[in-house]
């Protein structure tokens, strides 16, 4: 169960699992501590998502999916 | 700024007034910082970011037991709640054709000179330094807006394996970024 903290912080769990993990989090100090450590990591990954291409600097993130 | 706060004029029962007050306090404390963070993930779409912050605050108010946590944990939780709302919105907004893939990390061109470009390169380097197994699950889940189950199907490995590799991959990525001096 503890290894769900990464998937949780990235927001990539299915709805049901996401909620189950939150209930686990309520009672698990280890995962609470890891959540604090990892909380801003997804934003750093977003740098890749948002990295502007040379032609379209202001495009929203979705533009990369084409 | 916040439609939820539009009726502080005494027409509500005291329980509602109490709720409005609590929500106002949450806004005061977390609204600004949340908006700054959320804007980064909405590609600077301010209206969308404001909606996400509002929903985050309302969810926080509904889960008030978690507001008894220590501040750094509350903040980490709120960021995660907000991220999840952004991801849901993104998934709703786009039904993307499965056969079209976003560019690989190596193909992304970033202009020189901006801080963003610099940190994107640092993160890309960190990601490249991970093992193939670790990098792959990060790319196939978060960076492509896919759930664990969806990525598991694409990669042909069990969801539990994706979840576990993601855990070790994310830990390794954090170590890398910390060594490069860009993580706390
Ligand atoms: Zn745990």
Residue B11 and residue B17: Cα distance in Å, rounded? 9
Residue B10 and residue B32: Cα distance in Å, rounded? 27
**Structure confidence at residue B92 as a pLDDT band (50, 70, 90):** confident
Q: What is the pLDDT at residue B115?
A: 65
CA angle B39, B4, B67 (to 5 degrees): 70
Look up residue B27 and give its DSSP letter: I
Q: Do A59 and B65 touch (CB under 8 A)?
A: no
- Residue (of B8, B167, B144, B105) closest to A8 by Cα position: B167
Task: Tell me whether B117 touches chain A (CB under 8 Å).
Answer: yes
Q: What is the pLDDT at residue A20?
A: 96
ipTM of the complex: 0.80
- Helix, strand, coil percent content, chain B, rounded in steps of 5: 75, 0, 25
The answer to whether residues B102 and A65 touch, using CB atoms and an 8 Å cutoff, is: yes
Q: B105-179 adopts what CATH topology? A: Arc Repressor Mutant, subunit A (1.10.10)
Residue B67 and residue A63: Cα distance in Å, rounded? 36
Q: Region B75-97: what's the mean pLDDT?
A: 87
In a domain, residue A3? The reply is yes
Chain A residues in contact with B87 (beta carbon < 8 A): 11-12
Q: What is the pLDDT at residue B116?
A: 66
Tell me which residues of chain B, numbers 24 to 53, contact chain A at a CB-CB cutoff of 8 Å. Answer: 37, 40-45
Q: Which residue of A has its CA nearest to B169?
A: A6
Q: Region B108-129: what's the mean pLDDT?
A: 74
**What range does the domain containing A6 cover?**
1-46
Residue B103 and residue A41: Cα distance in Å, rounded? 21
Q: What is the pLDDT at residue B183?
A: 61
Is residue B99 predicted with pLDDT exceeding 80?
A: no
Cα(A25) to centroid(ligand 1), Å: 6
Residue B5 and residue A65: Cα distance in Å, rounded? 37
Q: pLDDT averaged over chain B?
A: 84
Is residue B5 predicted with pLDDT exceeding 60?
A: no
Q: Which residue of A has its CA nearest to B178?
A: A41
Q: What is the pLDDT at residue A11?
A: 96
In a domain, residue A57? The reply is no
Q: Do A49 and B143 touch (CB under 8 A)?
A: yes
pLDDT in tens, B7-48: 444 555 688 898 899 999 999 999 999 999 999 888 779 999
DSSP element (H, E) containing B77: helix B71-93
Dihedral-angle region of residue B157 (phi above 0 means left; psi in -120 to 50 means alpha; beta otherwise): beta
Dihedral-angle region of residue B69 (phi above 0 means left; psi in -120 to 50 means alpha; beta otherwise): beta
Class (C level, CATH) for B15-93:
mainly alpha
Q: Regarding predicted confidence, which is higher, B155 or B10?
A: B155
- What are the boundaries of each domain within chain B? 15-93, 105-179
Residue B123 and residue B99: Cα distance in Å, rounded? 26
| Total structural domains within chain A | 1
pLDDT in tens, A4-39: 999 999 999 999 999 999 999 999 999 999 999 999
Nearest to B146 among A12, A40, A50 (CB): A12
Look up residue B144 and give its DSSP letter: G
Q: Region B1-9: what's the mean pLDDT?
A: 49
Residue B156 half-sphere exposure toward CB, CA atoms < 13 A: 0
In a domain, residue A55? The reply is no
- At B12, give phi and psi (nearest 5°): -90, 155
Q: List strand residue ranges (DSSP E) for chain B, in order.
A: none
In a domain, residue A24? The reply is yes
Residue A32 and residue B11: Cα distance in Å, rounded? 40
pTM to 2 decimal places: 0.80
Q: What is the pLDDT at residue B95?
A: 57
Is residue A58 predicted with pLDDT exceeding 90?
A: no
Q: What is the pLDDT at residue A66?
A: 36
Q: Which residue of A has its CA nearest to B101?
A: A65
Q: Region B77-92: what's the mean pLDDT?
A: 93
CATH number, domain with residue A9: 1.10.10.1320
């Amino acid at each position: 169960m503890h290894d769900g903290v990464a998937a949780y912080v990235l927001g990539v769990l299915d709805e049901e699992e996401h909620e189950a993990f939150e209930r686990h989090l309520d009672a698990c100090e280890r995962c609470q501590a890891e959540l604090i450590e990892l909380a801003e990591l997804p934003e750093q990954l977003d740098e890749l998502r948002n990295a502007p291409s040379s032609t379209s600097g202001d495009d929203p993130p979705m533009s990369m999916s084409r | 700024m916040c439609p939820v706060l539009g009726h502080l004029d005494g027409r509500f029962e005291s329980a509602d007034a109490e709720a409005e007050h609590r929500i106002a306090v949450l806004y005061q404390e977390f609204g600004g910082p949340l908006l700054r963070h959320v804007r980064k993930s909405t590609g600077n779409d301010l209206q969308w970011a404001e909606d996400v912050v509002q929903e985050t605050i309302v969810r926080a108010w509904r889960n008030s037991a978690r507001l008894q946590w220590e501040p750094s944990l509350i903040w980490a939780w709120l960021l995660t709640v907000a991220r999840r709302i952004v991801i849901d919105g993104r998934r709703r907004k786009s039904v993307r054709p499965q056969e079209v893939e976003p560019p690989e990390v190596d193909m992304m061109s970033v202009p020189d000179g901006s801080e963003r470009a610099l940190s994107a390169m640092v993160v890309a380097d960190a990601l490249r330094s991970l093992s193939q197994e670790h990098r792959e699950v990060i790319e196939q889940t978060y960076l492509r807006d896919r759930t664990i189950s969806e990525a598991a199907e694409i990669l042909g490995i069990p969801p539990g394996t994706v979840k576990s590799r993601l855990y070790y991959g994310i830990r390794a990525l954090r170590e890398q970024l910390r060594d490069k001096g860009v993580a706390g």
